[in-house]
Chains A and B, each alone.
Chain A
């Protein structure tokens, strides 16, 4: 076996020279001859009946080529948009969703009509001239009361607003009696707009002579889009090509198929011209799926010595107006709610509630940040209740035996939770921080230290677990490796890189497996016309643990065939041929060796062994035996200004373990970005709707608070390495880890800082006004508060 030289090395990204030169090619950089520009007319109402659509004035506007509404699209789009089972196999109702509204709109931003024009600006002009007469209907905006019998219905013909109601493990009323202390908390998870810096976009060209469709779009998941569109447009997959070029971030919001993904190709087919649509930022915040949007009612009990006894979780999830394609994935918050700990008893129930907001769907972490947040909050509340140090209660209850089967039947593959926490505490200088905190309090300054020991499930996933969840297509991964006669190698993968650096890391794996120089290996992805028949896309921190393994597996098939050919050339038995660092030789004669490239050349020549086909290429599909389970501990240090409620995030320490590391620079970068998004949820971001009108109040980046460079300290990172036993590379995933861990660390730190005021829980975002109000209320109410004011 080759000695590892590339795996684990800090290799600078090969995609960067083009990206720093302005030569990245994102969706809006593409055009086709004769392209028309499409604008979408959207509902301004959260819930309304469409009485009529008057296109008379718009038809006469300059540059207008066509205006299409539901009746036009109904001729070329069949069926409804998909909703996968995900973690909720049976739903109570899935409101049928067509890409464009017919009689009723159910969220602000739902498409009602599209206009096609010769130039970009004309399309916006003309869209403004389309007059839609709406009859507003009562909207479901209040999640807490949406299930009341007299609540309005998100769809006027629906019996109620229950999307699903699933109990994973029923409650046993007796178990809490075993606990000495029981804490209860409602925990909010505000709606978030994923907001990749590049909004979505679609360009489609239909060839009537070939009856084929080519689609360029900003997607994490081009093969699934092709699958969905083939069905809806009645075009075989062989005649649909989806190309997802450089993509400016996704964070989960570019997984599912969207209305425009159907409408733009359909408009190209209807008009006979290429059609392009680029989302505006306001459209993005209004109509790209949101993340989170939940609240949890949680109860946790422990013994006086800190032993965890029971956890009871109920998730109330705002599905939005339709069930997002992978929206029910977020129910995994229940399945991961026990976190890194042994609990004697657990019960969990998820309730999906239909509202008149845009659907929710996976957003970085998808259910796992919610799980960590609720678990780590409850651990701190229990620690406070029994006056135990937050680190000590964690240490007492960490899972230490692996593989560990959870209450939900999930099998944690490996972990050393205490080691990661110890390392984080050492970097933070935990004891010293506690002393500083005590000193500061005497001076009326409120320092807080927050711990978040996180775990996650990722690397989706084993076929047995994922095929039922997607409605039949198992989330395995494919790769094709082609060796050219000169020994250079092209690798095609079904994952999609949009910032994760696969162009660099996957060739690192191939270089080590084949022993071919890294510079001779090219990676291709994002074009359904290339590579194996199906690719499964990038989400759920799966690319390396599943896709990287597919690449490794295909590369090993290459070695196997090359060994056979080498044995033939050496006139030796196959089992006597060694392969080391890219060279074959007969045992005992390493001086007479042949490089893989030489064998590749020979594979295209004459005199192959009998029955051997020409060429040196292989396809592999990799089906992992389990999910993978990264973990770590993050520590946030904050100071809260009790007079203004402002939070100063002073330090942020993260010790993470994702198993073996392919490229440490890229792993650290993923963690940085992930932490930033979790902190953003903890402190800044929230999609706000007006509860009376259903109007979004945060529809631009003026109102939706994406953090700038001023908001974060330089994160302090370290890692432990506990290889995964699940795959041969020993790798796990790291794309979502930072986000999964960080909201809890920050909120725990804030609660710790405000404990002198008797404040036990703070919801997100912990904005100055929210904290100021809580501090004010506690000062008015509690003895502790009065003490604190001195």
Chain B
């Protein structure tokens, strides 16, 4: 028996009929056709499938597609805007925060949630915030640097935006 599921993925609405047991990660990859979300384990340890569900970081192998009914999903493909990399994507590039790249989408999505909750995390808070994601290539050193660098860039741009609005108010 199939079930209707309607979601918004990266701002686009999708409607499909799916099996009740279809995992959200397989829905995204095989039904919606967005393969940037990866599968690295069977037991929700690795975090390669992390996406945002209504702004919360979720390992998309832990949800059924039907549970995403009516929800807004953001995947790695939805991070860049108008051809500009998201500051986290840019920071992972700048800081050599990836090697094989397989875990990277999950890390970027988990980090984007972390920074949404804590825009200026300490090294320890980054470690705690991303402990649900596994990387086998980097020893995590440059991932920590990437998140720090992205936080700095995002706070900088917010500060700039703040200055602009303050300037606007003054005028």
Instruction: Report A's interface with B, CB cutoff 8 A.
Output: 12-13, 15-17, 19-26, 28-29, 120-121, 195-199, 246-249, 251, 280-282, 498-501, 665-666, 668-670, 672-677, 700-702, 706, 708-710, 712, 714-715, 738
Contacts and interface: CB of A to CB of B under 8 A. Distances in A.
Interface residues of B, number: 58
A197 B98 contact: no
B98 A19 contact: yes
Contacts of A673: 99, 136-139
By DSSP majority rule, is chain B's interface helix, strand, loop, or mixed? loop
Contact of A197 (B21, B29, B135): B135
Given A16-B98, A499-B100, A21 B80 contact: yes
16 contacts: A12-B94, A12-B96, A13-B96, A16-B93, A16-B98, A20-B104, A198-B100, A248-B38, A248-B103, A281-B43, A665-B96, A668-B96, A706-B134, A708-B140, A709-B126, A709-B131
A216 B26 CA distance: 20
A179 to B, nearest CB: 39
B104 A709 contact: no
A17 B76 CA distance: 12
B107 to A, nearest CB: 9
Contacts of B143: 709
Interface in B100-119: 100-105, 108
B121 interface: no
Shortest 6 CB-CB contacts between residues of A and residues of B: A22-B36, A248-B102, A19-B101, A676-B139, A499-B99, A22-B76
Interface in B121-151: 123, 126-128, 130-144
By DSSP majority rule, is chain A's interface helix, strand, loop, or mixed? loop
Contacts of B26: 120
Interface of B: 19, 21-22, 26, 29-30, 34-43, 45-46, 48, 75-77, 79-80, 85, 89, 92-94, 96, 98-105, 108, 123, 126-128, 130-144
Contacts of B46: 197, 281, 701, 706
A714 B80 CA distance: 29
B139 A700 contact: no
A654 to B, nearest CB: 11
Of A12, A22, A24, A121, most buried by chain B (CB within 10 Å of CB) is: A22
Of B35, B76, B103, most buried by chain A (CB within 10 Å of CB) is: B35
Contact of B40 (A16, A20, A281, A500): A281
Given A23-B36, A26-B38, A675 B139 contact: yes
B139 A17 contact: no
A699 to B, nearest CB: 9
A248 B101 contact: yes
Contacts of A28: 29, 35, 38-39
Contacts of A674: 139
Contacts of B100: 196-198, 246-249, 498-499
Nearest to B124: A710
Contact of B144 (A12, A501, A677, A709): A709
B32 to A, nearest CB: 12
Contacts of A121: 19, 21-22
A757 B133 CA distance: 37
Given A20-B98, A708-B131, A709-B131, 10 more contacts: A22-B37, A23-B36, A197-B135, A198-B38, A676-B140, A706-B134, A706-B136, A709-B133, A712-B140, A712-B141
A199 B40 contact: yes
B102 A701 contact: no
Contacts of B144: 709, 714
Given A20-B89, A249-B100, A669-B96, A709 B42 contact: no
B105 A22 contact: yes
Contact of A246 (B101, B103, B130): B101
Given A198-B102, A669-B142, A710 B93 contact: no
A8 B128 CA distance: 35
Nearest to B43: A700
B41 A281 contact: yes
Contacts of A13: 93, 96
A710 B26 CA distance: 29
Contact of A22 (B75, B99, B142): B75
B112 to A, nearest CB: 12
A78 to B, nearest CB: 34
Contacts of B85: 17, 20-21
A709 B127 contact: yes
B28 to A, nearest CB: 10
Given A26-B38, A281-B42, A714-B144, A197 B103 contact: yes
Nearest to B75: A22
Contacts of A672: 138-139, 141-142
A17 B101 contact: no
A21 B77 contact: yes
B101 A499 contact: yes
Contacts of A22: 34-37, 75-77, 79, 105
A197 B134 contact: yes
B37 A715 contact: no
Contacts of B105: 20, 22
A21 B131 CA distance: 22
B93 A20 contact: yes
A24 B35 CA distance: 9
Contacts of A24: 36, 101-102
Nearest to B78: A22
A475 B100 CA distance: 24
A545 B121 CA distance: 41
A17 B77 CA distance: 12
A715 B21 contact: no
Contacts of A120: 26, 30
B92 A16 contact: yes
Of B41, B75, B79, B98, most buried by chain A (CB within 10 Å of CB) is: B41
Contacts of B137: 197, 249, 499, 669, 673
A192 to B, nearest CB: 12
A702 B19 CA distance: 27
Nearest to A663: B96
Contact of B134 (A19, A501, A701, A714): A701
A594 to B, nearest CB: 36
Contacts of A197: 38, 40, 46, 48, 100, 102-103, 134-137
A715 B101 contact: no
B143 to A, nearest CB: 7
Nearest to B94: A12
Contacts of B77: 21-23
Contacts of A709: 126-127, 130-131, 133, 135, 140, 143-144
A738 B80 CA distance: 34
A688 to B, nearest CB: 17
A787 to B, nearest CB: 36
A700 B45 contact: yes
Contact of B131 (A246, A669, A710): A710
A715 B108 contact: no
B42 A700 contact: yes
Nearest to B131: A708
Contacts of B108: 20
B43 A702 contact: yes
Contacts of A281: 40-43, 46
A121 B46 CA distance: 21
A62 to B, nearest CB: 11
Contacts of B101: 15-16, 19-20, 24, 246, 248, 499
Nearest to A364: B136
A512 to B, nearest CB: 21
B40 A198 contact: yes
A248 to B, nearest CB: 3
A715 B144 CA distance: 12
A735 to B, nearest CB: 10
Contacts of B94: 12
Contacts of A676: 138-140
